[in-house]
Structure 1
């Protein structure tokens, strides 16, 4: 018959040694996580545009708010660039994940969209080609996106969505609404996916806002209510003609919803009189 050896009582020195080892392990883990966060922040900062383009009759601005939990870096992004023929392209999106890999994937999407759009394709074709490009790199990540072009000659917006929340619009005479165009699946999910294109003829003066779900959806706040509130705020600020002012007003909806994710807004303010006098 075997007798169990009595457990050795830990001395105060043993407890201090164990506590010191666990503390060192926790500190090393925290430092590694902090380094990953700082790297992701740097990647995201460098991959977002310093400024958005404009032409006589249209000005653009963006706003961004980071995630609130202090540990994750969100995958929200936006971009704007000129196209051949005087048109402008604007896009906004959200990458799955909150880490260095998501930030790097965000950069791939942004550059891929620029490369594809440079050929003059419509937004639906741009998203379809970007989708195939992302599938070809065999990444486990995916992204939502809205891509639109602004034609200052035809005075119209052409847009397509890939699993992304709709934009909101308002005119200087007090009308507003949600841009409920059809859309397709997120980028990097389904081979051969197609993305319907929607055309909007613009009023003489107004504003159009693209946003991510972190702006209009919170833990206990439905996205429909957030979109309606964002549209009202664009309506209230559209007469100023200041895209930065409108973007700040829309971003305030994120405070209202109690968001925890990151949030991004891109606003286009347009005025046909400025185009004609430019």
Structure 2
């Protein structure tokens, strides 16, 4: 009898290991399902299509966070305003949870709704900010909103605590936008958001992005922006299409040293002559 005990102990150990393996597999499947649902939630709140703008190309790229349920709250958007001009925005909600993703959807939809009342970037951000403050939102968002006039190439920009944009010209000039900006949305009631005006003409590009593209443990934001400036400058001189530039910029997010989500929106003017830059 005593000689059979080790075999019985071995069988019990194998049975326990088998049970633990089954539990681990089920847990992994549940976690994968949760991540897939979180990513679907986030992607479902981003626009499915971009407007067609004669004489201009719009391109976007988005890279989701890939750590657990840290889906993040970055967004991009482009839509036609009631007066025929085009609204462009990128933004980032505080935090990296499914709640952040849901709040991102609310802010993006709020911007669109209020844009039917006013397309002025500064006033639009001010109204959105006051709305979020009045609702007592426990999160805040950074954002850049631009209004493009396709007839003239005029760009009006307002920034709410967000990462600056990058511009480049077909004749080799490039740089970081120097607009003053205001506080993040949802922080301070009655905040003002100054408007800076630029002009986008043939061959030029503007790059709107979130901080996940240019900032992280392995990359300072100034260095990250410098890299995007070089990419945009080279793309404008080489007459690369907006999609190629957007793809090159989003790849920069791999160098920042973290798993934050990242969004890029590029607007470029068709053609090979003239330039884009500060108005």
TM-score, length basis structure 1: 0.85
- Aligned residue in 1 for 2:218: 220
What do you get for the CA RMSD once the two structures are aligned?
A: 2.6
- What secondary structure, in the 3-state scheme, does the structure 2 residue paired with 1:111 have? helix
User: Structure 1's 184 and 69: CA in aligned 2 closer, same or farther, altered over 3 A?
Assistant: same
Q: CA 1:173 to 1:136, structure 2 compared with 1: closer, same or farther past 3 Å?
A: same
- Distance across 1 between alignment mates of 2:14 and 2:137: 45
State the Cα distance separating 1:272 from its structure 2 match. 7.0
1:143 and 2:147 matched: no
Q: 1:26 to 1:131 in 2, by over 3 A?
A: farther
Q: CA deviation at 1:28?
A: 7.7
Partner of 1:258: 257
Displacement of 1:53: 1.4
- The CA distance in 2 between the partners of 1:136 and 1:31, in whole Å, is 41
Q: Is the deviation greater in 69-78 or in 143-152?
A: 69-78
Using the size of structure 2 for normalisation, the TM-score is: 0.84
Q: Which is further off, 155-164 or 254-263?
A: 254-263
1:241–1:270 Cα contact (<8 Å) kept: no
Further displaced range: 18-27 or 225-234: 18-27
Q: Output the CA distance in 2 between the equivalents of 1:191 and 1:36.
A: 36
Per-residue deviation, residues 107-142 of structure 1 (Å, max 9, x unmatched): 101110001111233101111111112223322111
Q: 1:50 aligns with which of 40, 48, 51?
A: 48
Contact 2:235 2:245 in 1 (8 A): yes
Matches within 5 A, 1:88-127: 88-127=86-125
Distance change >3 Å, CA 216–CA 17, structure 1 → 2: same
Q: Which runs of 5+ in 1 are unaligned?
A: 1-10
Deviates more, 1:117-126 or 1:262-271: 117-126
List per-residue Cα deviations over 1:40-70 (Å, max 9, x = no partner).
2111111111221132111101001122434
Which secondary structure state, in structure 2, belongs to the residue aligned with residue 97 of structure 1?
coil
Give the whole-Å Cα distance in 1 for the aligned partners of 2:19 and 2:179. 57
User: Which residue is equivalent to 1:165?
Assistant: 163
Q: Quick one: distance in 2 between partners of 1:42 and 1:12?
A: 45
The aligned counterpart of 2:270 is: 271
TM alignment of 1:53-92, pairs within 5 A: 53-92=51-90
Mapped contact 2:69–2:97 kept (Cα < 8 A): no
Shift of 1:38: 2.8
Structure 1 SS opposite 2:83: helix
Separation in structure 1 between the aligned mates of residue 258 and residue 229 of structure 2, nearest angstrom: 18
Shift, 1:175, TM fit: 0.8
SS at match of 1:120: coil
Q: For structure 2, which runs of at least 5 residues remain unmatched after alignment?
A: 1-8, 274-279
Task: Tell me, yes or no, if the aligned pair for 2:72 and 2:98 is still in contact at 8 Å.
Answer: no
Aligned position for 1:246: 245
Matching of residue 232 in structure 1 with residue 230 in structure 2? yes
